[in-house]
C-alpha cells in the first residue's frame, strides 16, 4: 500500500513538471513515464503483457494486462487505432495502440493514469508532428538536411507496403519485404531473450508468449509459406521452455 501511495504521489508531481500539454491546457504523463514509475516502485512483482486482438489492415485493437507473478490479472485495458489516421498511425499504429492499452491497464490496476484515464496517445505531440510533416525537412532541421518531404513520404510508403510486419514487446516493430529476413529477425530476437539472464525465465517466457500472440495473424501466414522454418522456431521455443 505504501508503494502504491508513493507511485501516485510521484506521478502527480511529475505531471506538474513534465506533463504533456493536451488541447484545452490539461496535462498528462506519457505511458513511458508511467511504466518507469511502475517498475521503479514495484520492480518485477507484476508483469505487463500485450495482445493483438484485431488487425484487418485498417483497424487495430490491442489488449494489455497487468499480472502478478502468480498469474492473477490485476488490471486490463484495450485500445483501438486506425492505420493512416494521423501522423503517428501512418507508420506506428500498432505500437501506438499497444502503448495506449498499457496506459489503460496501469490506470485500471493501480490508478496510475497520466492525468486523463482515457488518454494514452500523445495527441499533442502527434498533432505537432503532423504539422511539421507538411514542412520541407530542411526547414525542420534548420537547413542541415537535404531530404525532402517526398523522401519521407516514399519511406513511409515503403514501410506500409512491406509484406511482413513484426511487433516486439517494448513497442519495437520491424517491416520486411521477404520472409527469410523476417524469420532471421525472429531468431535473433529469441536468442536475445534466451540469453538475457538478468530477467527471470518466467518473465522471458511471458515476453515470448506475448510476441507470438500479438503477431499471430502474420505468423499464420508465414507458417503456410515456410512451414519447416517456422516449425524450427517453434521447436526452439519448446526447448527453451523445457530447459
* pLDDT tens digits in sequence order for the chain, 243 residues long: 577 778 878 877 877 777 666 556 666 677 888 888 888 888 888 889 999 999 998 899 999 999 888 888 888 888 888 988 876 777 788 888 888 889 888 888 877 766 543 333 444 343 444 444 344 443 444 444 444 555 545 554 544 556 788 888 765 677 788 889 999 989 988 998 888 888 888 888 888 888 888 788 888 888 889 988 889 988 888 888 887
Q: What is the pLDDT of residues 160-190, one digit of tens each?
A: 556 788 888 765 677 788 889 999 989 988 9
If you search the block for the grid coordinates 502474420, which residue do you land on? 218
Helices (H), 19-174: 31-42, 93-110, 123-132, 137-140, 149-161
Q: How many CB atoms lie within 10 A of CB 117?
A: 14
Residues 51 and 210: beta-carbon distance below 8 Å: yes
Backbone angles phi, psi at 101, to 5 degrees: -65, -40
Q: Exposed (0-12), middle (13-18) or buried (19+): which is 16, by Cβ within 10 Å?
A: exposed
Residues 1 and 8: beta-carbon distance below 8 Å: no
**What CA–CA distance (Å, rounded) separates 156 from 204?**
32
Q: How many CB atoms lie within 10 A of CB 149?
A: 15
- Integer Rg of the chain from CA: 20
Sign of CA dihedral 191, 194, 198, 199: positive
Residues 183 and 226: beta-carbon distance below 8 Å: yes
DSSP 3-state of 68: strand
Q: What is the pLDDT of residues 95-114, one digit of tens each?
A: 888 888 898 888 888 777 66
Amino acid at each position: 500500500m505504501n508503494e502504491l501511495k508513493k507511485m501516485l504521489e510521484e506521478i502527480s508531481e511529475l505531471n506538474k513538471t513534465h506533463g504533456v500539454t493536451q488541447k484545452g491546457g490539461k496535462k498528462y504523463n506519457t505511458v513511458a513515464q508511467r511504466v518507469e514509475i511502475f517498475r521503479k516502485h514495484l520492480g518485477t512483482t507484476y508483469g505487463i503483457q500485450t495482445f493483438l486482438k484485431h488487425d484487418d489492415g485498417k483497424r487495430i485493437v490491442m489488449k494489455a494486462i497487468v499480472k502478478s507473478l502468480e498469474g492473477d490479472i490485476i488490471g486490463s485495458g484495450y485500445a483501438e487505432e486506425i492505420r493512416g489516421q494521423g501522423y503517428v498511425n501512418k507508420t506506428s499504429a500498432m505500437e501506438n495502440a499497444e502503448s495506449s492499452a498499457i496506459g489503460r491497464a496501469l490506470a485500471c490496476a493501480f490508478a496510475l493514469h497520466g492525468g486523463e484515464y482515457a488518454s494514452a496517445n500523445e495527441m499533442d505531440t502527434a498533432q505537432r508532428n503532423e504539422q511539421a510533416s507538411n514542412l520541407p525537412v530542411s526547414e525542420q532541421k534548420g537547413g542541415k538536411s537535404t531530404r525532402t518531404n517526398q523522401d519521407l513520404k516514399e519511406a513511409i510508403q515503403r514501410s506500409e507496403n512491406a509484406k511482413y510486419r513484426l511487433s516486439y514487446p517494448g513497442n519495437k516493430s520491424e517491416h520486411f519485404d521477404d520472409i527469410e529476413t523476417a524469420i532471421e529477425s525472429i531468431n535473433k530476437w529469441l536468442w536475445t531473450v534466451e540469453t538475457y539472464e538478468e530477467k527471470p525465465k518466467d518473465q522471458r517466457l511471458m515476453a515470448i508468449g506475448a510476441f507470438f500472440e500479438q503477431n499471430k495473424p502474420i505468423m499464420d501466414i508465414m507458417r503456410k509459406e515456410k512451414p519447416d522454418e517456422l516449425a524450427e522456431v517453434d521447436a526452439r521455443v519448446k526447448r527453451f521452455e523445457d530447459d
